[in-house]
Chain A
Amino acid sequence: MLRNIIIRNRYVDSVMLMSIAAKAKGWAGVEEVSAMMGTGANKELLSSAGLLADEGRAAAPMDLVIAVRAADEAAAVKAAAAVQEFLSRRPETPAGDAKAAPRSLSGALSAMPDANLLFISLPGAYARREAEAALDRGLHVMIFSDNVPIGEEIALKKKARGLGLIVMGPDCGTAIIGDVALGFANVVNHGPIGIVGASGTGIQEVSCIISNSGLGITHAIGLGGRDLKEEVGGISMLQGIEALDADPATKLIVLISKPPAPSVAARVLDRAEKCSKPVVVNFLKGDPAEAAKRGLAFSPTLEEAALMAVEMAGGQARPPAGVAPEVRLIAAEERARLAPGQNYIRGLFSGGTLTDEALLVLRDYVGECHSNTPLVPGMKLADAGKSVENCLVDLGDDEFTRGRPHPMIDFTLRCERIVREAEDPETAVILLDVVLGYGSHPDPARELVPAIEEARTRAGGRHIAHVASITGTDGDPQNRARQRIALERAGVRVMETNARAARLAGLIASKGAN
């Protein structure tokens, strides 16, 4: 049967009406539904569709005609009522929040034309293309992604240099620009010290020590781990030094790198020598004489470089060299609880440079340690999954992170290993780094404490010393103080810096021999 229902003086746009009719078609008992304004042309359309009844024929142009052909009266009335119900409905999506995320660099640039930095954390295969386009548009680039071929890195950095721009990375985990942490980085104080670093955790540790000492940093320019290789030639580090030298807010510069290629180290130190401000050099295994002959301060450890920088920039004086008496006391306490045969340190690290620093520090206490990233080739672990004697494992190394999140984010691997090491009767100390800041796990203590408790259970009657450092600040989202308290409650000896934690571990394991 056919029904026309007229709603007088009700204007609804035709597109809205057509969409309602489209919805109504699926209703039970309904053959055809149309809603149209009662204009002559529309009535003609309804008529040719066989949908115009007498009531509709009499409708005026500003009347709404709901035409229904249905199996019976009840279905027709129901359909007409449903159409009216649709008409009174408000849209579900609010009009705000409608701006879609841009889908490309140029889309983003049209929304933010004055953007000056592109941050790339895409799969490495796509990084070059986007970085190049960004350089063409006048943006600096930070490439967090790894797996970017070194040839592409060189081409990008050369192109950037030609344009007066910088490429931080690839594989650049950390930078702080204008007090904004990029990638894995901490919330540190603003202050007079600028950092240029080829190591993410190195920058984190140094900037945190500076900040926790009461000073702060202007910028930390990251480079990626390959910048000081022969092929790349330190392009970005030289640009970084240049920029911080020219930056009026920066009063002192710290340079951080794993062992640089000698030719590159010379070029970088030559440039540093020309700086108008003091420079502290932290090249792991670097030659102090090379720095000294250019009048540059040098330290092989992150901790000392940071404290040196603080002192030189007018902050607190460096504590006297050597181990503080209270630390010796702690070591003695821990040592007293060890059983015979518990001789070794088992370091389970998430930061590569923190591993390196600990290896260096421990040299003076227990000699060379085994590692998957050893200081000397002879100490390389045959199987990184199995500890041997004194042994520091970098769980952030490629072999552990393939197809798995980084151990700063995912603690599964580390927690398993904490328990496993406890089962070894030779384990005396478990040494940990805990890295806070943006990008890292929101609450590392929550992951570590149950594992440490489990480890105690597994060790049976044996006591195991748990020693950790926290790379972080109280401003970090995870809050350093809170992490410290949680770990200390679980019996962990928490030290101010990674180097100090290594020293404590060394004191315990060497049984005071040092």
Chain B
Amino acid sequence: MTAHGMADLLKGKPDVISMGLASFTESIASQGARAIHVDWKPPAGGDPAALAALDALQPFSEKIRQANDRALGMMIDAQPVLVDIRPAREVIPGMTDRTILHAGPPIAWKAMCGPMRGAVAGALVYEGKARDVGEAEKLAAGGKIDFSPCHHHSAVGPMAGVISPSMPVFCVRNETAGNMAYATLNEGLGKVLRFGANSPGVLDRLKWMGKVLAPSLAKALKLGGGINLKGLVAQALMMGDECHNRNVAATGLFLRAVTPRLLAADIDRETVGRVFQFIAGNDHFFLNLSMAASKATADTVNGITHCAIMSAMARNGVEIGIRVAGLGDRWFTAPAGEPKGLYFPGFSAADGCPDLGDSTITETGALGAMAMAAAPAIVKFVGGSPADAIRATTEMYEITWGTHRDYQLPTLDFRGTPAGVEIRKVVETGILPIINTGVAHRKPGIGQIGAGILRADMRCFRGALDAFVKKYAE
């Protein structure tokens, strides 16, 4: 913000923002002045209660501005580095032998959606706590398992987001703030645990990942220090990824970084070959790294008083929830939405589970749909043309506190990605964050059936705004 004195106004042609009649804007522009027309709509959709809440915060706008600036700075300065891969139980805070972590806001077993139940059951069999899926379901229902959101343990998981104690997890350290974040390793597409599949083939793959893939990568990581994920993400944005629904370039970059170390590590040649093939065969291998990096980034703002920036957004297949930096650990929830998707052969929207997963941590961290303009290859999700993707990203600038310094968008003249969703802006403009997502079958055990996009739910932001007013303006 610059303070414009009267002399500044009279120094030459004014630089005008115009709201109202478009003909006035056109007149101004036709005279050679810079003029931007605002496609104005009544704030908060004209809802008097929402307007009153926004106005109630007006006297505190300077405090909020300072807090938001500080938070955004911490998010931008974060340096997420992949430092290790370890079994979840050994590293994730608060994890015990009877803990099962899941995606989204808190939810009880009996309320869980199909894919999450399928993933939980699969994980219990994987852990050897049940002989089969049927037994696993009984165990899950019996009250001897502690279910808890990943987000309560510095962790995130895509789709069902199930993390059980012996699953290997990426350990990502934010070198700037020192905090850690964790995420599972990506299994691939199609029939996989995170989409609720739990057939023997799915569990065999998980076992191989735990026994072979994870230790090999961990060995590789020991050579030459951690891998800076921020650098990989920034490069991948230049190469057509948005690092949520498209991770092709980032996966390649990761593989490029890790391969020489795999070859140099004390691992037999055949294993190196299989590890290489596994990563190379999964265009989404980097997704979980992008998520862990985003979690390590977003967690830095938790607890900053007066900060109105969203610090988490996640779905459990039943509800979508957000958390806000200045409002502690509280979730503000609404029913999970239905993605507008594109489907694998044999499936349609009717088969889809409501929106699911922690992967919206990427949007929280200025990636994913925020960076849609970076990923022309997947513009079919937002309408079909690169122009639609640019429009999607451009719209998101309306609701973020600022732009990212290091995550840049070539198609927008290297403007930074929209960073730090601010709840007041969401309520005022009525623009909801766009979410890129995968779609799971609504029945357990089947897996992924498509991918698509949707918007977050306004009720989350209205609830958060009311709580913000209660906490800071009353």
Contacts and interface: CB of A to CB of B under 8 A. Distances in A.
Interface of A: 13, 15-16, 18-19, 21-22, 32-34, 36, 39-41, 44-46, 48-51, 67, 91-112, 114-122, 126, 129-130, 132, 134, 136-140, 144-145, 163-166, 177-183, 187, 218-219, 239, 242-244, 246-247, 438-439
Given A179-B13, A242-B6, A16 B377 contact: yes
Secondary structure call for the A interface = mixed
B391 A100 contact: yes
B264 interface: no
Nearest to B35: A119
A126 B42 contact: yes
Contacts of A50: 346
Interface string B1-44: 11111111111111111111101110110011110111111110
Given A45-B190, A117-B14, A18 B380 contact: yes
Interface of B: 1-21, 23-25, 27-28, 31-34, 36-43, 51, 55, 58, 61, 188-190, 245-246, 281, 342-347, 377-381, 384-391, 394-395, 397-398, 403, 411, 425, 428-429, 431, 450-451
Nearest to B14: A117
Nearest to B15: A115
B38 A107 contact: yes
A15 to B, nearest CB: 5
Contacts of A243: 6-7, 9-10
Q: Identify the interface centre among B1, B17, B246: most chain A CB within 10 Å of its CB.
A: B17
B344 A45 contact: yes
Nearest to A247: B10
Given A93-B388, A122-B40, A41 B31 contact: no
A295 B15 CA distance: 37
Given A91-B386, A132-B58, 18 more contacts: A15-B378, A15-B380, A34-B344, A45-B190, A93-B384, A98-B387, A103-B38, A106-B398, A108-B38, A117-B16, A118-B17, A126-B43, A130-B40, A137-B1, A166-B6, A179-B13, A179-B31, A247-B7
A219 B11 CA distance: 10
B470 to A, nearest CB: 22
Contact of A98 (B32, B381, B391): B391
Given A15-B342, A115-B16, A439-B23, A178 B38 contact: no
B28 A180 contact: yes
Contacts of A126: 42-43
Contacts of A92: 385
A22 B342 contact: yes
A107 B422 CA distance: 13
Contacts of B345: 21, 32-34, 36, 45-46, 49, 51, 67
B342 A41 contact: no
A17 B199 CA distance: 28
A13 B248 CA distance: 11
B431 A183 contact: no
Contacts of A134: 17
A342 B408 CA distance: 76
Contacts of B377: 13, 15-16
A100 B391 CA distance: 6
Nearest to B37: A101
Q: Identify the interface centre among B3, B20, B188, B345: most chain A CB within 10 Å of its CB.
A: B345
Given A49-B345, A136-B61, A139-B4, A98 B9 contact: no
Contacts of B14: 116-117, 140, 177-178, 180, 182
Q: Which 4 A-B pairs have the closest CB atoms?
A: A121-B20, A49-B346, A34-B345, A98-B387
Nearest to A121: B20
Contact of A439 (B27, B39, B385): B27
A138 B4 contact: yes
A103 B41 contact: yes
Contacts of B37: 101
A138 B27 contact: no
5 contacts: A39-B281, A98-B386, A98-B388, A177-B9, A180-B13
Contact of B4 (A101, A145, A165): A165
A119 B17 contact: yes
Contacts of A177: 9-10, 13-14
A507 B2 CA distance: 57
Contacts of A117: 9, 14-17
Secondary structure call for the B interface = mixed
Given A19-B380, A22-B343, A121 B24 contact: yes
A104 B425 contact: yes
Given A19-B380, A51-B346, A121-B19, A41 B188 contact: yes
B15 to A, nearest CB: 5
Nearest to A122: B20
Nearest to A61: B281
A423 B344 CA distance: 77
B38 A104 contact: yes
A181 to B, nearest CB: 6
Contacts of A178: 10-14, 33
Q: Identify the interface centre among A41, A51, A100: most chain B CB within 10 Å of its CB.
A: A100
A121 B391 contact: no
Contact of A102 (B21, B36, B343, B346): B36
Contacts of B55: 129
A183 B61 CA distance: 31
Nearest to B39: A101
Nearest to B283: A14
A178 B15 CA distance: 10
Nearest to B16: A117
A102 B28 contact: no
A157 to B, nearest CB: 13
Contact of B346 (A32, A109, A144): A32
Nearest to B21: A121
A145 B342 contact: no
A122 B46 CA distance: 14
A181 B24 CA distance: 10
B473 to A, nearest CB: 17
Contacts of A46: 345
B10 A104 contact: no
Contacts of B384: 19, 91, 93
B338 to A, nearest CB: 16
Contacts of B394: 98-100
Contacts of A51: 345-346
Contact of B397 (A107, A114, A137, A439): A107
A21 B342 CA distance: 9
A107 B398 contact: yes
B15 A114 contact: yes
B20 A164 contact: no
A138 B6 contact: no
B36 A115 contact: yes
Contacts of B20: 119-122, 144-145
Contacts of B32: 180
A203 to B, nearest CB: 16
A138 B1 contact: yes
Nearest to A44: B190
B391 A116 contact: no
B14 to A, nearest CB: 4
A201 to B, nearest CB: 17
A144 B25 CA distance: 12
B6 A239 contact: yes
A119 B16 contact: yes
Contacts of B411: 95
B33 to A, nearest CB: 4
B46 to A, nearest CB: 9
Q: Identify the interface centre among B11, B13, B38: most chain A CB within 10 Å of its CB.
A: B38
Contact of B19 (A39, A91, A118, A138): A118
Nearest to B402: A110
